[in-house]
C-alpha cells in the first residue's frame, strides 16, 4: 500500500511535469529558428538542423504566429511544409488550451500582400478556423489576390453570388459577376464554369486568350520513333528552323504545315494533321500513327524580357524548347493528359522568341493509347496569360 | 498489489497494446491477418458501429492503428494538393490532431484514385505518411514534424499521372518506398530517425502500383525487403539496398506479394509460389497456378491456405503445399481493397462499399452483407477486436456491442 501511494505520487508528478512541458508555450527566437527551416533543401539537406529548430519553433506562443508566418518569406516548397506544421502545432495547442489566437494581427498579416502567398493563406485558415464570419468578411476583397488559393476562394464566392442572382432572375447582375469571376479565375474548373455561364447568356468569351494557349503552329512530321528511339534523336527541326525546308521523314519527305487549332483549350491533334503512312498493306485512312515523332513550332513576339511558365498537356512523350534551350523532357506515354500537366520555367527575350515542341507517339496497340496530341500555353506563375504581340 | 506485479501488468498492457497495432498496409508482416480478433459479423447504423468520424479529404489509403489511436491520410482541394494526416482516439472517435501539407510533387490521378493512395506506415513511435505526389512525411505520434521529404522534388520525373499507390514499409530502422514509373523510377531506403537516404536503387521505368514487403534475412535479426515489378522479384538488404537475389517472372503491377514463414506468394502467372532457400539465397519454384490469380487485391495466407480475390469478385482458396484450388466462392463486386482475416472470418469490402463477411473453412460461405453506402478503396485495419474502415468521407470503427 505504501509503495502504491509513492508510485501514484511519482506518476502524478511525472504526468504534471510532462503536461506542463508539452503545453506551456514560450517566447522563442523566431528569426533564428525560421532561418533553419528555410535552409531545408532537397535530398534531406538541412534536415538535422531543421528538425531541432522545428521542435523549438513549435513551442512559440500564439502571439508569435504572425512572426512565424513572416518567416515563410523566401521559403522553398519543402520549407513551407515545415513552417505549416509548426504554425498548426502552435495554433492547435493554443485553441485546445482555451486560449485565443491573435486574430487582429493575423488579419493584418493577411492584408499584407508583400508576405508569402502561402503564409497569407495559412493566416486566413487560422482565422477561418475560429471565426465563421471570416469568409464573408475577408474573401470578397481577394478576387485579384496574388495567392492562388485565396483568389480561388474569392472566385468561388463570386460564382455562388452570380448563381444566386441568376436564380433570382437578375440576369444582368449575374452576367456582371460571372464576367468578374471569369477575369479573376486562374484555375481550369472555375474558368470553365464562368465561361460556360457567360456563353449561355450570349456573351463573347475568349478562353484561349484568357489562358494564353498558343493556337497558331507550324507542324512537321512524322519522323521515326519505332521502339521509342526517336525521343533521343535530334531530327532536323532540333538543329534549326527552316520553314521552307523539306526533310526525309518516316514514310517519305515531309514539310512544315501551318495549322491553327480551333480547340478552346488549344489541343493540337497530330493524328488529324499528318498524312497517314501509306507503305503498309493494311493501310486505312482511319489508321493512327504509331512509332512517330512530330514537331510544332511557333514564333512568340514579346514586348519585354520576362520570366514565364510554359505549361503543356500531352499524352505522349515530349520535349519543349524556348529559343533553342531545352526546358523540359518527359518520356512518358499514355499516362493521362491534362491542362498544365507539365510546367516549365523559361525566360522570354524582348522581340522574337521561338517555341519548339517535340511530341513522340509510341507503338502501343490498346485503344486508349492511340492519341497523339498536345496543348501549350504561356503564362506567369499564377496562371495569368502572357500573350504574344503577333 | 506488489510493485513487481504492478510492473508486470504495465509491461503486459504495453505488450497487449503493441500486439493490437496495425502498423502498415495489410497489417503485421503484410499478412492481412489478425488471428485472434473477432470483429462483429454484421453491423448497421445502429448496431456494432462504435463511431463514425468525418474525414477532411479523399483517400484510397487504409487506416493504421498505433497505441490506441487510428491514423488516416487524406488529400483535398481541386488539385488534390493538400495532404492530410489525421489522428483519432480509438475509444471516442474524436480527432486528436490533424496536420496538413502542400504537395511538392505531381498530383494528377485517375478520378477513382486519390493522392492519398498509399497506406501510411509506423514503427510504433513515428508515422510515415506517403502520397502519390511522393511526399514522405514523418511525424511523431503527437503530430510533431520530425522530417519531410519531397521525393519528387528531389527527383522531378518521379510520378505517374494516373496516380501512384505503393505503400511504404518499415524494415528495422529504414522506411522503404517504391516509386516505379516511366520517369525517375527507383526504390529508396530512408533512415527513420533522420529522413536521410540510406540507399536508392534504380528500378524498371514502367508504371507499378505494388508495395514492398519485409521478411527475415539470412543473418540473425536481419531483415530483407522484397520489391516486385513487371520483370521480376528482387530481394534487398534493408540497410544497404544491396540486391541479394532476383527471381525473374512477369509479376503483376497491382496486387502485392505476400510472404509466410517458408514461402513467397507472387501475383505472377496467376499465383507463383516460391519455397524459401534454407540459406536465404534464391528461392525455388514450389508451384504456380492460373486458377488462383489475384487482381487487384493482394493474396492472403492463413496457415496452410492461400486466398485470392479476382477482378470479378470470386474468392478462391488454395492449398499452400500443392497449389490445388480447394474451393471458390462468388462474393461479388470489384475489390480494390485487399480483404482482411480475423479468426475464421474474412472481411471483404468491395469498391461500392458492400462488406461481405465470409466464413472460412472447408468451404467458404458469406455469412452477412453490410453496407457502408460509400466507395471504399482502402484496405481496412483490425485492432483490439475492431475493424477500422475508411471511405473518401468517413472513418468507421466497427466493434461488437457498440
C-beta separation of B112 from B126 below 8 A: no
- DSSP secondary structure string for all residues of A229-248: GGGG---HHHH---TT-EEE
Question: Does the structure show a pLDDT above 80 at B365?
Answer: yes
Q: What digits encode the pLDDT tens for the residues B43-56?
A: 998 999 999 999 99
Q: In what order do the strands lie in the sheet with A292-302?
A: A257-260, A216-224, A292-302, A351-361, A317-322, A325-330
Q: How many CA atoms lie within 13 A of B290 on its CB side?
A: 0
Looking at residue A278, what is its pLDDT?
Answer: 54
Percent of all residues in chain A with a pLDDT value above 70, rounded to a whole number? 91
Number of H helices, E strands in chain B: 2, 33
Phi, psi of A149 (to 5 degrees): -70, -40
Mean pLDDT, residues B142-156 taken together: 94
Q: Reduced to 3 states, what is the DSSP secondary structure of residue A50?
A: helix
Looking at residue A279, what is its pLDDT?
Answer: 53
Nearest to B97 among A7, A92, A330 (CB): A92
Give this prediction's pTM. Answer: 0.90
Q: Reduced to 3 states, what is the DSSP secondary structure of residue A198?
A: helix
Assign B223 a pLDDT band (cuts: 50, 70, 90): confident
Assign B14 a pLDDT band (cuts: 50, 70, 90): very low
Which chain B residues touch A if contact means CB-CB below 8 Å? 1-3, 6, 78-79, 97-102, 104, 108, 110, 135, 137, 139, 142-150, 153-154, 157, 160-162, 181-183, 194-197, 205, 207
Nearest to A331 among B150, B182, B195 (CB): B182
Looking at residue A341, what is its pLDDT?
Answer: 96
Percent of all residues in chain B with a pLDDT value above 90, rounded to a whole number? 89
Please name which of A382, A390, A389 lies closest in space to residue A152, comparing C-alpha atoms: A382
**Residues of chain A with C-beta less than 8 angstroms from the C-beta of B145:** 51, 54, 58, 81-82, 85-86, 89
Interface test with B, best of A1, A19, A42 (most B CBs within 10 A): A42
Q: Where are the alpha helices (DSSP H) in B70-163?
A: 151-154
Question: Does the structure show a pLDDT above 60 at B209?
Answer: yes
Contact check, Cβ <8 Å, B99/A85: yes
Question: What's the Cα-to-Cα distance from A353 to each of A93, A145, A299, A300, A309, rounded to whole Å?
Answer: 53, 30, 6, 5, 14
- DSSP secondary structure string for all residues of B47-61: BSEEEEEE-SSB-SP
Mean pLDDT, residues B52-62 taken together: 98
CA end-to-end span of chain B: 33
C-beta separation of B166 from B117 below 8 A: no
Q: Where are the alpha helices (DSSP H) in A97-235?
A: 103-111, 117-130, 134-138, 148-167, 171-184, 188-200, 207-211
Assign B397 a pLDDT band (cuts: 50, 70, 90): very high
Please name which of A356, A358, A379 lies closest in space to residue A316, comparing C-alpha atoms: A358
Q: What digits encode the pLDDT tens for the residues B312-344?
A: 999 999 999 999 999 999 999 999 999 999 999
Q: Where are the alpha helices (DSSP H) in chain A?
A: 2-23, 30-38, 47-57, 65-70, 77-96, 103-111, 117-130, 134-138, 148-167, 171-184, 188-200, 207-211, 236-239, 270-273
Mean pLDDT, residues B53-72 taken together: 98
Nearest to A58 among B102, B108, B144 (CB): B144
B104 to chain A: closest CA residue: A77
Q: What digits encode the pLDDT tens for the residues A271-323?
A: 988 866 555 544 444 467 899 999 999 999 999 999 999 999 999 999 999 99
Q: What digits encode the pLDDT tens for the residues B295-313?
A: 999 999 999 999 999 989 9
Owner of C-alpha cell 522553398: A76
Please name which of A280, A281, A302, A300 lies closest in space to residue A291, comparing C-alpha atoms: A280
d(CA A35, CA B256): 43
Give the total residue count for chain B. 402
- Residue A74 has a CB neighbour count (10 Å cut-off) of 10
C-beta separation of B300 from B33 below 8 A: yes
Question: Does the structure show a pLDDT above 90 at B222?
Answer: no
d(CA A330, CA A173): 46
Looking at residue A390, what is its pLDDT?
Answer: 83
C-beta separation of B132 from B117 below 8 A: yes
C-beta separation of B97 from A92 below 8 A: yes
Nearest to A44 among B181, B196, B205 (CB): B196
Question: Does the structure show a pLDDT above 50 at A10?
Answer: no
Question: What's the Cα-to-Cα distance from A87 to each of A31, A133, A153, B62, B195, rounded to whole Å?
Answer: 14, 22, 21, 27, 21
Average predicted confidence (pLDDT) for chain B: 93
Phi, psi of B308 (to 5 degrees): -135, 145
Q: What digits encode the pLDDT tens for the residues A137-162?
A: 999 999 999 999 999 999 999 999 99
Assign A20 a pLDDT band (cuts: 50, 70, 90): very low
Q: What digits encode the pLDDT tens for the residues B248-269?
A: 999 999 999 999 999 999 999 9
Percent of all residues in chain B with a pLDDT value above 70, rounded to a whole number? 95
Q: How far is B292 from chain A (nearest CA, A)?
A: 26
Question: Does the structure show a pLDDT above 80 at A325?
Answer: yes
Assigned C-alpha cell, B146: 520530425
Beta-bridge partners for B245: B235
- Residue A200 has a CB neighbour count (10 Å cut-off) of 10
C-beta separation of A313 from A307 below 8 A: no
Angle at B297 between CA B294 and CA B301, to 5 degrees: 70
Mean pLDDT, residues A355-359 taken together: 98
Nearest to A47 among B97, B108, B147 (CB): B147
- Residue B78 has a CB neighbour count (10 Å cut-off) of 13
Looking at residue A277, what is its pLDDT?
Answer: 56
C-beta separation of A266 from A214 below 8 A: yes
Beta-bridge partners for A260: A216
Contact check, Cβ <8 Å, A335/B160: yes
**Residues of chain B with C-beta less than 8 angstroms from the C-beta of A22:** 142
Question: Does the structure show a pLDDT above 80 at A24?
Answer: no
d(CA B168, CA A162): 46
Looking at residue B5, what is its pLDDT?
Answer: 42
d(CA B187, CA B169): 12
Residues contacting B168, CB < 8 A, separation 6+: B24, B118, B120, B121, B128, B130, B136, B175, B176, B177, B211, B212
Question: Does the structure show a pLDDT above 80 at A224?
Answer: yes
Looking at residue A252, what is its pLDDT?
Answer: 85
Contact check, Cβ <8 Å, B161/A335: yes
**Residues of chain B with C-beta less than 8 angstroms from the C-beta of A319:** none
For chain A, domains (ranges, CATH) are 2-131 (no CATH), 148-205 (1.20.58), 216-379 (2.60.120.380)
Residues contacting B369, CB < 8 A, separation 6+: B354, B355, B356, B357
Assign B17 a pLDDT band (cuts: 50, 70, 90): very low
Looking at residue B4, what is its pLDDT?
Answer: 43
Residues contacting B195, CB < 8 A, separation 6+: A44, A47, A51, B136, B138, B146, B147, B148, B149
A152 touches B at CB < 8 Å: yes
Looking at residue B278, what is its pLDDT?
Answer: 84
Please name which of A309, A306, A274, A311 lies closest in space to residue A289, comparing C-alpha atoms: A274
Please name which of A11, A31, A90, A8 lies closest in space to residue A55, comparing C-alpha atoms: A90
- Going from N- to C-terminal start, the domains of chain B cover 3-398
**Residues of chain A with C-beta less than 8 angstroms from the C-beta of B142:** 22
CATH assignment of B3-398?
A: 2.140.10.10
- Residue A234 has a CB neighbour count (10 Å cut-off) of 10
d(CA A37, CA A77): 11
Please name which of B317, B319, B372, B364 lies closest in space to residue B345, comparing C-alpha atoms: B364
Of A191-200, A250-259, B195-204, minimum mean pLDDT range? A250-259
Question: Does the structure show a pLDDT above 70 at A50?
Answer: yes
Residues contacting B3, CB < 8 A, separation 6+: A3, A7
Q: Reduced to 3 states, what is the DSSP secondary structure of residue B295?
A: coil
Nearest to A82 among B108, B143, B145 (CB): B145
Assign A5 a pLDDT band (cuts: 50, 70, 90): low
Buried b (16+ CB within 10 A) or exposed e, B8-26: eeeeeeeeebeebbbbbbb
Amino acid at each position: 500500500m505504501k509503495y502504491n501511494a509513492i508510485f501514484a505520487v511519482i506518476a502524478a508528478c511525472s504526468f504534471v511535469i510532462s503536461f506542463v512541458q508539452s503545453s506551456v508555450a514560450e517566447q522563442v527566437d523566431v528569426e533564428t529558428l525560421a532561418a533553419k527551416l528555410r535552409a531545408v533543401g532537397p535530398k534531406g539537406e538541412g534536415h538535422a538542423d531543421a528538425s531541432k529548430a522545428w521542435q523549438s519553433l513549435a513551442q512559440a506562443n500564439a502571439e508569435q504566429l504572425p512572426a512565424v508566418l513572416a518567416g515563410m518569406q523566401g521559403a522553398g516548397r519543402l520549407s513551407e511544409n515545415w513552417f505549416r506544421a509548426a504554425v498548426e502545432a502552435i495554433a492547435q495547442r493554443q485553441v485546445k488550451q482555451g486560449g485565443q489566437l491573435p486574430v487582429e494581427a493575423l488579419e493584418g498579416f493577411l492584408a499584407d500582400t508583400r508576405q508569402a502567398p502561402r503564409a497569407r493563406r495559412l493566416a486566413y485558415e487560422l482565422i477561418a478556423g475560429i471565426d465563421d464570419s471570416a469568409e464573408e468578411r475577408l474573401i470578397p476583397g481577394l478576387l485579384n489576390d496574388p495567392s492562388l488559393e485565396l483568389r480561388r476562394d474569392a472566385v468561388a464566392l463570386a460564382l455562388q453570388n452570380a448563381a444566386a442572382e441568376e436564380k433570382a432572375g437578375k440576369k444582368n447582375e449575374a452576367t456582371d459577376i460571372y464576367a468578374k469571376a471569369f477575369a479573376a479565375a486562374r484555375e481550369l474548373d472555375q474558368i470553365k464554369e464562368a465561361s460556360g455561364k457567360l456563353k449561355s447568356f450570349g456573351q463573347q468569351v475568349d478562353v484561349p486568350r484568357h489562358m494564353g494557349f498558343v493556337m497558331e503552329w507550324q507542324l512537321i512530321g512524322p519522323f521515326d520513333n519505332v521502339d521509342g528511339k526517336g525521343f533521343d534523336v535530334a531530327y532536323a527541326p532540333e538543329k534549326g528552323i527552316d520553314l521552307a525546308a523539306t526533310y526525309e521523314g518516316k514514310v517519305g519527305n515531309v514539310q512544315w504545315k501551318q495549322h491553327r487549332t480551333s480547340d478552346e483549350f488549344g489541343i493540337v491533334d497530330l493524328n488529324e494533321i499528318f498524312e497517314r503512312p501509306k507503305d503498309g498493306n493494311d493501310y486505312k485512312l482511319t489508321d493512327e500513327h504509331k512509332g512517330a515523332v512530330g514537331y510544332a513550332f511557333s514564333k512568340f513576339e514579346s514586348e519585354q524580357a520576362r520570366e514565364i511558365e510554359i505549361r503543356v498537356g500531352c499524352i505522349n512523350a515530349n520535349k519543349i524548347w524556348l529559343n533553342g534551350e531545352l526546358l523540359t523532357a518527359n518520356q512518358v506515354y499514355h499516362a493521362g493528359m491534362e491542362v498544365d500537366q507539365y510546367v516549365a520555367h523559361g525566360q522570354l527575350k524582348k522581340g522574337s522568341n521561338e517555341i519548339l515542341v517535340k511530341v513522340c507517339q509510341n507503338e502501343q496497340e490498346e485503344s486508349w493509347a492511340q492519341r497523339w496530341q498536345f496543348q501549350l500555353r504561356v503564362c506567369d506563375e499564377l496562371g495569368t496569360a502572357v500573350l504574344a504581340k503577333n | 498489489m506488489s510493485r513487481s506485479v504492478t510492473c508486470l501488468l504495465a509491461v503486459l498492457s504495453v505488450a497487449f497494446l503493441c500486439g493490437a497495432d496495425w502498423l502498415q498496409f495489410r497489417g503485421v508482416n503484410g499478412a492481412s491477418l489478425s488471428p485472434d480478433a473477432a470483429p462483429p459479423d454484421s453491423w448497421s447504423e445502429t448496431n456494432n458501429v462504435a463511431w463514425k468520424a468525418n474525414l477532411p479529404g479523399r483517400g484510397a489509403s487504409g487506416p493504421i492503428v498505433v497505441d490506441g489511436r487510428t491514423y488516416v491520410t487524406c488529400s483535398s482541394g481541386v488539385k488534390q494538393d493538400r495532404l492530410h494526416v489525421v489522428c483519432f482516439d480509438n475509444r471516442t472517435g474524436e480527432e486528436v490532431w490533424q496536420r496538413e501539407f502542400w504537395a511538392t510533387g505531381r498530383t494528377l490521378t485517375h478520378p477513382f484514385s486519390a493522392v492519398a493512395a498509399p497506406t501510411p506506415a509506423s514503427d510504433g513511435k513515428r508515422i510515415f505518411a506517403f502520397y502519390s505526389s511522393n511526399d514522405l512525411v514523418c511525424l511523431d505520434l503527437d503530430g510533431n514534424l520530425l522530417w519531410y521529404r519531397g521525393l519528387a522534388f528531389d527527383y522531378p520525373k518521379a510520378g505517374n499521372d494516373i496516380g501512384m499507390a505503393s505503400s511504404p514499409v518499415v524494415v528495422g530502422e529504414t522506411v522503404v518506398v517504391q516509386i516505379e514509373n516511366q520517369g525517375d523510377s527507383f526504390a529508396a531506403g530512408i533512415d527513420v530517425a533522420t529522413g536521410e537516404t540510406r540507399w536508392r536503387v534504380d528500378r524498371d521505368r514502367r508504371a507499378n502500383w505494388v508495395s514492398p514487403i519485409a521478411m527475415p534475412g539470412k543473418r540473425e535479426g536481419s531483415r530483407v525487403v522484397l520489391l516486385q515489378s513487371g520483370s521480376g522479384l528482387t530481394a534487398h538488404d534493408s540497410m544497404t539496398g544491396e540486391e541479394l537475389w532476383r527471381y525473374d517472372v512477369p509479376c503483376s503491377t497491382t496486387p502485392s506479394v505476400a510472404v509466410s514463414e517458408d514461402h513467397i506468394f507472387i501475383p505472377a502467372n496467376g499465383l507463383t509460389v516460391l519455397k524459401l532457400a534454407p540459406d536465404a539465397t534464391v528461392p525455388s519454384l514450389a508451384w504456380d497456378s492460373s486458377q488462383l490469380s489475384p487482381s487487384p487485391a493482394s493474396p492472403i495466407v492463413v496457415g496452410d491456405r492461400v486466398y485470392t480475390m479476382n477482378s470479378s469478385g470470386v474468392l478462391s482458396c488454395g492449398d499452400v503445399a500443392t497449389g490445388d484450388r480447394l474451393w471458390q466462392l462468388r462474393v461479388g463486386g470489384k475489390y480494390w481493397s485487399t480483404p482482411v482475416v480475423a479468426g475464421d472470418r474474412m472481411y471483404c469490402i468491395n469498391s461500392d462499399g458492400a462488406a461481405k463477411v465470409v466464413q472460412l473453412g472447408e468451404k467458404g460461405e458469406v455469412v452477412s452483407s453490410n453496407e457502408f453506402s460509400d466507395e471504399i478503396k482502402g484496405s481496412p485495419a483490425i485492432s483490439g477486436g475492431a475493424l477500422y474502415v475508411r471511405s473518401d468521407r468517413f472513418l468507421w470503427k466497427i466493434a461488437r456491442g457498440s
